[in-house]
Amino acid sequence: MTEYQTINWNGLMLEISAEPNQTFSRIAGEEYTRLKVTTAQSAQPLIHDIFSASLIRQAGGAVDFVDVMLTAQAA
């Protein structure tokens, strides 16, 4: 099931979608999630990758994970 959320990150409206990646999870033997972050201001996604679902959960969910990732990139 895909989760969609919209957040305001430093004045930028972000659309976050997160969905389990069943194929990669079967191959790796660990649960993985496809995470895509887009904004209307850019044709290219800011993030479009597969991450360990446990990392996303440890961060507090997709929104908090994206906040940490973008904050680290901006530093």
Residue span of the structural domain in which 61 resides:
3-74
Where are the extended beta strands (E) located within 10-66?
A: 12-20, 32-38, 47-52
Number of domains making up the chain: 1
Return per-residue pLDDT of the chain as tens, 75 residues: 889 999 999 999 999 999 999 999 999 999 999 999 999 888 899 999 999 999 999 999 999 999 999 999 888
pTM over 0.85: yes
In the 8-state DSSP scheme, what is residue 42? -
